[in-house]
Amino acid sequence: MTRTGWEFDRPAPPRGYGWWYLDALSADGRHGITIIAFIGTVFSPWYSLARRGGAAAEPENHCCLHVALYGAPKRWAMTDRRRSALKRGADFLQIGPSALHWDGNALTVRIEEVTAPLPSRLRGTVVLRPEAVSGRAFQLDSAGRHHWHPIAARSSVEVTLENPALRWSGPAYFDTNWGSAPLEQDFVGWDWCRAPMPDATAILYNARRRDGTDQSLALRVARDGSVTDFEPPPPVALPKTLWRIARPTRAEGGAARVVQTLVDAPFYSRSEIQTRLLGRDATAIHESLSLDRFASPAMYAMLPFRVPRPLR
């Protein structure tokens, strides 16, 4: 499957979703950031409640710019907003006071958010510059309801925040996912990692599907953006998180370890790991998601404290 452009205007069907994901670590390893722009905020308790209500489950009525800072200082913002907060076109996406804009050379993210659960301002600019843009996209489930496109796996980023005052740069990554059904309907969970190296970036994507099948992608993204498959390495079980979330991955020779846990949530983890892929030792960002955990009633009681929704 081939995709072109950033597709910020891509339609999201009822009960569906689209998201655009950016992550980066500073060159000195002291800081990190994750930004996810959601249409149909898949981890929002408010969107989950709307989907259970049937006809009201319109993804554009649940949009969000999620921002997480790692290192010192740490920050978290994830406000689920209504349809009136959303404006978009092929190359721009505005959600409330925050916005993303692609000018043909760089993606600029302007952040104007309030953190949760303790409110404070999170304001500044992140500029992502791709080394190359890739066109290859992937179907993640058997029925063709969920897709993923690693748009700019090899990128650099400049982070300039006013509140908190922070400035750094480093290697970065950008991709997008979209689908026409809730994640928990079609997946038990998945794990993913990306490892930048001097001449290529390795990406692993392992999905455990509800229909009993699995998918294991192992991809090499070259400096020109070309994406090729390689043989998935052997499985490795990293230590579980404090919330007892499993962190499976794959690595050559079983050589993988957790450097630090960036997010330890009841159904989700994001970690910095040391691994070995494509014959090289590498620092990677790793994620693990349990959708059985997410779908439990206890999550819907806990999440509103982390994912607020304004009255208008």
Domain end position, chosen among 156, 181, 206? 181
60 and 67 Cβ atoms separated by less than 8 Å: no
Tens of pLDDT along 207-235? Answer: 999 999 999 999 999 999 999 999 999 99
In this model, does residue 55 exceed pLDDT 70?
A: no
Q: Residues 107, 192: one domain? A: no
Which structure tokens are listed for 78?
Answer: 């994830």
Residue 289 DSSP SS3: strand
In this model, does residue 49 exceed pLDDT 60?
A: yes
Listed in sequence order, the residues at least 6 apart from 198 whose beta carbon sits closer than 8 Å to its beta carbon are none
Whole-angstrom Cα distance, residue 68 to residue 74? Answer: 7
Tens of pLDDT along 77-128? Answer: 999 999 999 999 999 999 999 999 999 999 999 999 999 989 999 999 999 9
282 and 197 Cβ atoms separated by less than 8 Å: yes
Cα torsion through 230, 147, 292, 181, rounded to 10: -160
Q: Which residue has the higher pLDDT, 71 or 310?
A: 71
Stretch 255-274: mean pLDDT: 95
Which structure tokens are listed for 274?
Answer: 């040391």
pLDDT value at residue 87: 98
Q: Which domain does 192 fall in, by range?
A: 182-303
Q: Residues 174, 35: one domain? A: yes
Closest to 107 in 3D by CA, of 31, 173, 195:
173
User: How many distinct structural domains can be found in the chain?
Assistant: 2
Q: Residues 134, 242: one domain? A: no
In this model, does residue 33 exceed pLDDT 70?
A: yes
Stretch 169-178: mean pLDDT: 97
Please tell me what DSSP assigns to residue 258. E
Closest to 227 in 3D by CA, of 128, 150, 147:
150
CA 282 to chain centre: 20
260 and 251 Cβ atoms separated by less than 8 Å: no
Q: Residues 142, 261: one domain? A: no
pLDDT value at residue 311: 75
Q: Is the pTM of this model over 0.75?
A: yes
pLDDT value at residue 300: 66
Helix (H) or strand (E) holding 42: none
Q: Residues 154, 196: one domain? A: no
User: Does residue 114 lie within any of the structural domains?
Assistant: yes
